[in-house]
Structure formats: structure tokens, C-alpha cells
Amino acid sequence: MISSVLIANRGEIACRIIRTARRMGIRTIAVYSEVEPHAAHVELADEAYLIGAAPAAQSYLDADKLLEVAKASGAEAVHPGYGFLSENAKFAAQVEAAGLTWIGPPPSAIEAMGLKDAAKALMEKASVPVVPGYHGDNQDDEFLAKKAGEIGYPVLIKAVAGGGGKGMRKVEDPARFGKELKAARREAKSAFGDDNVLVEKFVSSPRHIEIQVFADAHGNAVHLFERDCSIQRRHQKVVEEAPAPGMTDEMRAAMGSAATDAAKAIGYEGAGTVEFIVDASNGLNADGFYFMEMNTRLQVEHPVTEMITGQDLVEWQFRVASGEPLPKLQDELAINGHALEVRLYAEDPAKGFFPSPGVLHHLRLPAASGHVRVDTGVRSGDEVTMFYDPMIAKVIAWGSDRADAIRHLSRAITDIEVIGLKTNAAFLGEVARHPAFRAGELDTAFIERHQDDLVPQVEAIDAEVLVLTALYTLLVENAARSESHDPFAATDGWRLNAPNPVLTHPMAFESPDGRHAVLVGFSKGGIVVEAEGETMSLSGQLLDGGNTLSALIGDKRLDVAVRTFGPAIHLFRDGRLYELERIDPVDVTGEDEAGSGDLTAPMTGRITAVNTEAGARVRKGDALVVLEAMKMEHTLVAPSDQTVFEVLVEEGDQVDEGSVVVVFDKEEDGEG
């Protein structure tokens, strides 16, 4: 067994690997960039080394620096995690050439599966079913457009290198093929350094089902069943679960056999995932799945497989890399219960899921239990930067069956508290509660189809939220004043010879959806608040050091988490965050001035394309600028029919959030 390992990665997966390595008595060496000297994975490891500047190309993608650290630290092995260099055959070969153990498949296997076109050709030879399409070397734009027509629309353009939805475009209209091809090439070149693509048939009612495989150097290969990853957004997985809803024993056996055949065909060793696209238009059938690609590494969603099998896949990786046989063979593996995983991201669903980098002023994640697991690489006070993936944590729930697992997942999501940046927590909660999801009606268009139900806009402040905020404010003020023993400082509303309650105490709060006024009165039974046309009687107390408000509104009792940061009050109810700030109720100033209407950068990032110029007449929705941030491209479109007055950026520029990138002619009225 190896005794020390360099983890060539960061964040959540680095922490995950460290935990298993420590349990096995393996010394861990971490690496970090200049922006994260105190990151969680750095402090969790036995030792850590600085490897460069924040951009991944100058740190986590610098193979030479990683090998220097491995040598300096005396590491015996290198674990690449996932992402970065995890599927880089050249790096794997360099590690082995340096006399180190590579915790992953042989470089030849990585190379065989590294390019989607070559991989599909290899799978065809191994009799593994593949999606109809063109996977050849001819990269001429006109030739590819011709092939798309022969395949039949809709088609998918996919980068031959990499994964994660980068360099992938669905095309339904032949007239848009050229534009989408250009965008796919640009994104693929930026992400993988390779702009070659393939074109294949888009499968209707597609489900994304993958098989976890494992092989050793002794000729053994097994599968640890399937994961359904159909709930996706922009080809990025949002929810993963195991086993797949509706899976039959016959289809599981057929897919498992195809996956292990694929692994054997390339001399595979270690952990891998064979991904299939499944035509679910007529349910799940043993002859309705097609090979998509093979990920020659551990997957982000591996915890759901661990939860239903009781196996630690990272431990399996260490053991296989050390030359040991697989810990279990196929007939020793079984499915127990059901597990689901969601990815908590720093992003704003209400604004097209734009990444939301920033400081985690407050972070509270669900407590671990026999039903809930949380994998994270950040803590309160840490920063989610624009340089890396915006994932904050993975929340995994296990249950005796799918319905039980969903109940535990839904409850866990409501326990998430984040202050400092936007997250998709409320969106994840809506997915988990959606009737179609609970019924197992899954395919890759699920989010697009139900977007109006799933994507929360600015949280509307209702009467209950207002009265809870008013109650919290009064209780905090009373606690602060109670020590003074000054009767004139009391806020119980007592007035000489005046009946109770009297609604004479005005309060006002500002929230993203506007300004809200309330009137407060007092009675012997507690507080009376009038808000949004409703009058409610309530009482309550502060618990948990003032972080929990236990309130009684009429006959309804509820506990809500409340946090203050600066002047803002953050109230968490049913998994949703409501942010309010108390203001002077008689202040009538502060109305927002009309904005300039110019196009601004929604986040910090790099300009990768500019599609307009001064004097151009643009229509609402026209793509004007493409911004790359947090590993994804984001298209900035014209907000209305206007004339461009000036373009302030060019390709390659780095811009800050809020920076104006395109100025429109202010003398126009904006009418088309």
C-alpha cells in the first residue's frame, strides 16, 4: 500500500480524498494557488505547497510544478481527483515516468477514451451501441453542415475532447448550424485546447444514465450499478441518483455488461464511468441505450454509488493503484436503498444561473447523519472566486426507497444557509418537491420544460415574512434595552390611559422587491402587527444565541433561522432566503434613478467574443458580447432595439462585475 499521496486538485474533491487517505494511514500533500493559502483542503492535508497564481493554467494545470512538488514532498503517488489534469494522458505518463504511482487508469486507456470520436469508433469495434453520427477527422465547416443534414435535425455538436457540456450545442435549425459550430469550437478551444468536434443525432426524450466501473491489474472488472444524471442544465448535471428510476434487471444487466466490455476493450484499471444516452420515449428498454463517452476518472456524483453499495470508491482507487485486486467481485455487490445528490452552486437562478462569486460571510450546511452526507471544500469566511468551479457543496441523501430519499433530501436543502452570494438552494428545493420529479418523469429537458415552476425570481416579501422580521427586530431591541432598567426605554407599547393594542409604532424595511411598511401595537398577550393589509397577533423568543426566532403567529408556531450581517437581516424560511434592511419609515428619499440601460458585465470574467460595433443597429435579444467566467461562457444580449454608440471592450479583456461593456445611443427612445 502506498504511504503518501500528492493530491493534484483543490476544493471539495481534495478534501474528500484526504479524509479517506487519513483513515487508511496515508500521508496527504496538498497544493494551492495564491488566492487560497488558507483553503479547507490546505488546512486539512498533512502538508501543502504553493504552486502558482490563481488562473488554473498557472497552477493546477501546470504539470511541471505539480511534479516538482511531488518530488520535494517525497510523495509516492499522485491522485488527480476530477477536472484539471485528471484525464490528461500526458500528465499520467509523466507521473509514471517520474517513478510515482498514478491513481487512475493507464495513460493508454485515458488516451483511448480522451477523444469522443476515436472512443466511439473503438466502442463500435467492441460491439457497444453508439449514437448515429459523424465522428471522423474531416473538420471542414461545410462538410460538417452537410453531415448534419444527412443525420437529420436536431443534432448535437460536441467537442471531441473534455466533457461537462463545454463545447456542446444542440442545433434544431440548419440555418443556425454555422453559428453554433463557431461557438462550440471557441468554447472547446478555451476549455480543452482542442476545437475539433463531432456531430451526432439528438435523441428524443433522452435520459443520461451512466455505469460506474472498476477494474484491477489482475483481469477483474466489475460495475457498481447505474446512476441517473438526467436532470441537467446546459449539459451540466444538477441532480444525480442511484439506482435509476424505472430501471429493469434486464436493462441493468445489459448496460453493466456493455460498460465492463468497454473497460476491458481498452485495458482499463481503476475507477471509470461509462456514460450512455438512453431513448426513454417508450420507457427503459434493453435495446434503447447508446454509448456517449467514458470518463476515465472518479465522477463528481460518485457518493450516490457509495451510499447504495456501502463501498468507499476512493479507498478502492488506492488499493487498485497499489496492485491489490478489487475488494469485491460482481456477485458480492448489491444495491441497498436509494440515494440522490444535488450540487449547491454559487449562482443566481433568477438571472439565468449566472455565477455569483463572492465571500461566504455565513455558511451553514445540513448536519451529517445516517441519511445525509455533505461533501464540501469551503467554510464561512472563504471566498468562491471566479477562477474555479462555483460549487459550494454536494448534498447527498439516502433512503430505504426513492420516496424516502427525496424526503430526506428536501429536508436537508431547507437547512442550507448562505449569506454573501447567491446560490441555487431554492431552485434545488423546487426540483426535489416537483411532482414530476417525485413521479420519476425524468429526461434531460426536465429543467427547461418546468423552468417556470423551478426557477425562483426575486423572493417576494409576504406578510408573514414582514411580521417575523418586525418581531425579530423588536426582540433584539428589547434585549439590548432590558439591561438599562429605564422604563422610558421599554418598547412594550404601554401608554397612560390608552387602550391596548394601539397600532402606533411604525416600522419599514427595504428588500430587493421594494419597500414595506408595518405598524406595530402591543397588548398583554404579545405584539400585534399590521403588514400587507393583514393584522396578526404574535409572540416569540430568541434562541440559539439570537440566531433562531421561535414565533407564535396566531395559532401557528414556527422556528426560523435569522442572521444579521451589516445592516441587513437575513431570514431563512422553508429553504428560502429573505433579505431585509430596516429603514426610517418617514424617509421618502432614496428612489432609484433610472439606469443608463447600457450593457454591463453580470460578473467578473474575460471577454471571448465581441459581435457588434459602434453604429450598429441591434435588436432585442441579439448576442453582443460573450463573457467567460467560472469555466462557462455567458452571452450578453441587447436589452432592447437600439443603436450601439460605443463598444468599450475587445476580445481578451478582463472585466469586473458591473463594468459597462456596450454603450447605447441615449438620444434614441429605444423603439424598434
CATH number of the domain that 74 lies in? 3.40.50.20
CB atoms within 10 A of CB 163: 21
643: CATH: 2.40.50.100
Residue 527 within a domain: yes
Q: 390 preceded by cis ω (within 30°)?
A: no
Same domain? For 563 and 604 the reply is no
Residue 596 has pLDDT above 60, yes or no: no
Which of 168, 201, 234 corresponds to the end of one domain?
201
477/545 same-domain check: yes
Grid cell, residue 475, equals 426582540
Grid cell digits, residue 421 = 452570494
User: Within this chain, do residues 473 and 528 fall inside the same structural domain, yes or no?
Assistant: yes
Q: Do the domain assignments include residue 300?
A: no
Domain that holds residue 417: 338-422
Among 530, 557, 583, the domain boundary falls at 583
Residue 567 belongs to domain with CATH number? 3.30.700.30
Least confident span in 48-62, 259-273, 321-335, 602-616: 602-616
- The pLDDT confidence band at residue 483, using thresholds 50, 70 and 90, is low
Whole-model pTM: value is: 0.79
Q: At what angle do helices 249-265 and 116-125 cross, to 10 degrees?
A: 110
Does some domain include residue 215? no
Span 467-493, average pLDDT: 72
Q: Using DSSP bridges, classify how beta strands 4-7 and 27-33 pair: parallel, antiparallel or unpaired.
A: parallel
Among 583, 616, 643, which residue terminates a domain? 583
Q: Which residues are catalytic?
A: 297
Give the tens place of pLDDT for each residue, 196-232. Answer: 999 988 887 789 999 999 999 999 999 999 999 999 9
Confidence of residue 65 (pLDDT cuts 50, 70, 90): very high
The pLDDT of residue 592: 39
pLDDT class for 588, splitting at 50, 70, 90?
A: very low
Same domain, 484 and 574: yes
DSSP category for residue 281: B
Residue 518: inside a domain: yes
170 lies in the same domain as 136: yes
DSSP 129-185: -B-SEE-SS---HHHHHHHHHHH-SSEEEEESB--TTTTEEEE--GGGHHHHHHHHH
User: Is the same domain home to 478 and 550?
Assistant: yes
User: How many domains would you assign to the chain?
Assistant: 5
Note whether 468 and 575 are same-domain residues: yes
The predicted-structure confidence for 112-146, as pLDDT tens digits, reads as follows 887 777 787 888 877 788 888 888 889 999 999 99
**d(Cα 552, Cα 662) in Å, to the nearest integer?**
51
> What per-residue confidence (pLDDT) applies to 322?
97
With contact defined as beta carbons under 8 Å apart, do 158 and 135 qualify? no
What CATH code is carried by the domain that includes residue 170? Answer: 3.30.1490.20
Tell me if 622 is assigned to some domain.
yes
Shared domain for 554 and 604, answered yes or no, is no
pLDDT band (50, 70, 90) for residue 630: low
pLDDT of residue 670: 44
Judge whether 80 lies within some domain: yes
What is the phi/psi pair of residue 278, to 5°? -115, 130
Among 180-189, 233-242, 491-500, 635-644, name the one with the lowest average pLDDT.
491-500
